[in-house]
Amino acid sequence: GEDVEQSLFLSVREGDSSVINCTYTDSSSTYLYWYKQEPGAGLQLLTYIFSNMDMKQDQRLTVLLNKKDKHLSLRIADTQTGDSAIYFCAEYNNNDMRFGAGTRLTVKP
Amino acid sequence: EADIYQTPRYLVIGTGKKITLECSQTMGHDKMYWYQQDPGMELHLIHYSYGVNSTEKGDLSSESTVSRIRTEHFPLTLESARPSHTSQYLCASKRGAAPPGYGYTFGSGTRLTVV
């Protein structure tokens, strides 16, 4: 299909790990991104991964890339209430950034 | 500190009015974009520009227009606002020659309500 796909909602308890999944469209996409949007704000770039990598870790964030299945995931360790936000997956190819519909993460105390 | 600015942050306006949403960036980025965001979160590209005097329509048909007379400024205009234009509008920019790993820089958005 033509869409970058994400599940719309995820709810976790504070302290647990969160895993947000994404399926992208183009196997030739060079970069894949995760953006975070807090209420009333624009999107903030969280992290990105180059297509020749399988994994990237940055403090509490781990990005896994499965090129064969065109599957990207974002794991947030020790999820905090401040992590509650909408998370967008995006792919970049040929000067074009294509976004998923966003996953709303709710963290319960 | 934001390097891309959108004004106003919130706007409530009557049907039929003409409005301009402002977007300015201080980073010298070549590429600028306007997205319309559904209440349900999804982003839709409505306009983009790769430089001065260059504007293109995006994936989602929009009754708005844009202009790019200066590198730093990319305003969006609705000639006659309608309730169906009620949405959040996000502006973004990217340096053309920068590695894609830099991603896009987004403004804080304008939430428009047409009554």
Q: How far apart are CA B33 and CA A90, in angstroms?
A: 15
Q: Which residues of A touch B5 (CB under 8 A)?
A: none
Distance CA B76, CA B20 (A): 6
How many angstroms separate the CA atoms of A57 and B83, rounded?
44
Q: Which residue of B has its CA nearest to A50?
A: B101
Q: Coil, helix or strand for B100?
A: helix
The mean pLDDT of A6-35, rounded to a whole number, is 92
Closest Cα in chain A to B89: A42
B90 in contact with A at a CB cutoff of 8 Å? yes
User: Which residues on adjacent β-strands are paired with residue A99?
Assistant: A90
Q: Report the pLDDT value the prediction gives residue A51, as an integer from 0 to 100.
A: 86
- Whether the CB of B43 is below 8 Å from some CB of chain A: the reply is yes
User: What SS3 state is found at A9?
Assistant: strand
What lies within 8 Å, CB to CB, of B75 at 6+ separation is B20, B21, B22, B23, B66, B67
Q: What is the pLDDT along chain B (115 residues), one digit of tens a residue?
A: 569 999 999 999 999 999 999 999 999 899 999 999 987 688 999 999 999 999 999 988 788 999 999 999 999 999 999 999 999 999 999 876 666 667 889 999 999 999 9
pLDDT, residue A1, reads: 45
Q: Please, where are the H alpha helices in chain B?
A: none
A23, pLDDT greater than 90: yes
Q: Where are the beta strands (DSSP E) in chain A?
A: 5-6, 9-13, 18-23, 31-37, 43-50, 55-58, 61-66, 71-76, 85-93, 96-99, 103-108
